[in-house]
Amino acid sequence: MAVCARLCGVGPSRGCRRRQQRRGPAEAAAADSEPDTDPEEERIEAGAAALAGAGGGRSAGPSSPPRCSLLELPPELLVEIFASLPGTDLPSLAQVCTKFRRILHTDTIWRRRCREEYGVCENLRKLEITGVSCRDVYAKLLHRYRHILGLWQPDIGPYGGLLNVVVDGLFIIGWMYLPPHDPHVDDPMRFKPLFRIHLMERKSATVECMYGHRGPHNGHVQIVKKDEFSTKCNQTDHHRMSGGRQEEFRTWLREEWGRTLEDIFHEHMQELILMKFIYTSQYDNCLTYRRIYLPPSHPDDLIRPGLFKGTYGSHGLEIVMLSFHGKHARGTKITGDPNIPAGQQTVEIDLRHRIHLPDIESLRDFNELSRIVLEVREQVRREQQQEGGPEDAAGLGRQSPQPCAEPPAEQAKGPGDGGAEAAAEPPAQSGQGQPFVLPVGVSSRNEDYPRTCRMCFYGTGLIAGHGFTSPERTPGVFVLFDEDRFGFIWLELKSFSLYSRVQAAFRNADAPSPHAFEEMLKNIQSLAS
């Protein structure tokens, strides 16, 4: 009996009886919105009442307080207690005694666990038609596949991707998130289902592949190890189209780019598109996914970190994760291309080196902007030499620490003053911003960029040849427009990338700790290398 009391948090003390008196029979009955009519549970309740009656006949001395046992509680109160416990604890509780095991067959308990732990708000009563109980849904579907819920990056070579596995009604669905069509960076994300898991019979959950245009078909999900799983299609003929590869390519092109090959006049872009179609088509039957986390946020972050859509020239739109690490910020590619693959840090920003833009007319002169940025780069190099080397002891890898801010040309400041200056800058706090225009000669896929910005910082962008050959970091300018948009000017490429926040709510995507997030970044970068 003491074991039962410890498991349920109710002890043989006066507190137990007082809690029963405070709750009252009406409140206890209301907690279970659907009274059980199972004959077995009615027998349990009658037995419990008999036990209570037998206990009531005992005479207690003035020195011995009244004792309360869990077995003496009415079944509807035990249902309420058990339903408030985590579902993972209930199997152990069922081994305590026969009465607990029988009560734990009550569907009210499992209906509440499905709702509170996995957000299933469907009317689970309709499951009774198929003979599937809420306990089956919890044990054979939700609990069994709980490890694949959240955000994942598919292993599709340099291209990567973003998969969000969610509980959707009585299904678990893997949605592949796709950027909007180039160059409309402010448009919402697109998504398509890759697989789904559901429970239509009492035996086991069914996995279906959703790839292709011929409807759901037989698939398989295997949890390889912690934070990694794979999917496999068992009927790849459903992926093929009657018109052969040409029809498949035209359909893919409309979905991926929103246009036909004849609409794309740039020869290099046509080559990149054909290359991506041929490469990604090899992964239509089996894929491996690795877990990714959303970056943790802190009150002193420049803006809220998260996922952004960005323009990358002929490669189209790609997904980048912006995260903050002290006085540095990183942009890590979640989707990539043959030059800079997914997992690499596409941009990094030194928040201690503020770039003060000239007036709007001078800003139109690319040489003037280039002169300002290169002066900052030289200052950064000198500071690195003074500190003893380019590598950051905090483990930033390719990132270089740049410990003090760039002063404006007309105001000399000492090391470390730039951080306070940036915080005290009127446009940063007021949000009014300053006029902004791209220098003449800088290309942009999206000409509809904001014409005011809050502030700018020195940064570096990663460029490389095809196949990630000869990678190097080149100087650039990080331009903060508002809470949801920023840009980056690549000086060497004379190119501008505009980024817009992914406006979506992701469940089961928060890192368990800052250390876990840092390890995740290292892992996806090492895989990309």
Q: Is the model's pLDDT at 82 over the cut of 50? A: yes
Q: What is the pLDDT of residue 56?
A: 44
Q: What is the pLDDT of residue 180?
A: 93
Q: Using one digit for the tens of pLDDT, what is the confidence trace for 184-207?
A: 999 999 999 999 999 876 678 999
Q: What percent of the chain has pLDDT over 90?
A: 51
Q: Using one digit for the tens of pLDDT, what is the confidence trace for 146-180?
A: 999 999 999 999 999 999 999 988 899 999 999 99
The 3-state DSSP class for residue 63 equals: coil
Q: What is the pLDDT of residue 468?
A: 94
Mean predicted confidence (pLDDT) in 499-503: 96
Rounded-to-integer distance, Cα 329 and Cα 484, Å: 15
Q: Is the model's pLDDT at 407 over the cut of 50? A: no
Model confidence, pTM: 0.78
Are the C-beta atoms of 473 and 461 separated by less than 8 Å?
A: yes
Mean predicted confidence (pLDDT) in 24-34: 39
The residue with tokens 């690795």 is: 290
Q: What is the pLDDT of residue 141?
A: 92
- Does 32 or 467 have the greater pLDDT score? 467
Q: Is the model's pLDDT at 263 over the cut of 80? A: no
Amino acid at 489: I
HEC string for 458-499: EEEEEEEECCCEEEEEEEEEEEEEECCEEEEEECCCCEEEEE
Q: What is the pLDDT of residue 75?
A: 85
Are the C-beta atoms of 290 and 228 separated by less than 8 Å?
A: yes
Q: Is the model's pLDDT at 42 over the cut of 70? A: no
Run of H or E residues at 109: helix 107-118
Rounded-to-integer distance, Cα 345 and Cα 521, Å: 9
Q: Is the model's pLDDT at 10 over the cut of 70? A: no
Within 8 A by CB and 6+ apart from 126, the residues are none
Q: Is the model's pLDDT at 437 over the cut of 50? A: yes
Q: Using one digit for the tens of pLDDT, what is the confidence trace for 86-128?
A: 998 898 888 888 888 999 988 889 989 999 999 887 665 666 6
Rounded-to-integer distance, Cα 264 and Cα 526, Å: 34
Are the C-beta atoms of 133 and 38 separated by less than 8 Å?
A: no
Quick one: pLDDT band at residue 435, thresholds 50, 70, 90?
Answer: very high
Min mean pLDDT across 136-145, 334-343, 452-461 is at 136-145
Backbone angles phi, psi at 200, to 5 degrees: -110, -10
Structure tokens, 277 = 């179609």
- Does 266 or 436 have the greater pLDDT score? 436
Give one DSSP letter per residue of 86-99, joined into a string.
-GGGHHHHHTT-HH
Q: Is the model's pLDDT at 493 over the cut of 80? A: yes
Q: Is the model's pLDDT at 519 over the cut of 70? A: yes
Q: What is the pLDDT of residue 372?
A: 95
Min mean pLDDT across 130-139, 287-296, 481-490 is at 130-139
Q: Is the model's pLDDT at 13 over the cut of 50? A: no
Are the C-beta atoms of 170 and 137 separated by less than 8 Å?
A: yes
Rounded-to-integer distance, Cα 146 and Cα 140, Å: 10
CA contacts within 13 A on the Cβ side of 6? 5
Min mean pLDDT across 306-310, 348-352, 444-448 is at 444-448
Between the alpha carbon of residue 500 and those of residues 162, 328, 347, 450, the distances in Å are 16, 20, 15, 11
Q: Is the model's pLDDT at 325 over the cut of 70? A: yes
pLDDT averaged over the chain?
A: 80
Mean predicted confidence (pLDDT) in 342-362: 94
Q: Is the model's pLDDT at 258 over the cut of 80? A: yes
Angle of helix 267-281 versus helix 244-257 axis, rounded to 10: 110
Cis (ω within 30 of 0) for the bond into 390?
no
Run of H or E residues at 167: strand 162-168
CA 482, 485, 491, 495 dihedral sign is: negative
Q: What is the DSSP letter of 259?
A: S
Q: What is the DSSP letter of 407?
A: P
Q: What is the pLDDT of residue 526?
A: 83
- Does 50 or 472 have the greater pLDDT score? 472
Q: What is the pLDDT of residue 400?
A: 37
Are the C-beta atoms of 191 and 178 separated by less than 8 Å?
A: yes
Q: What is the pLDDT of residue 433?
A: 81
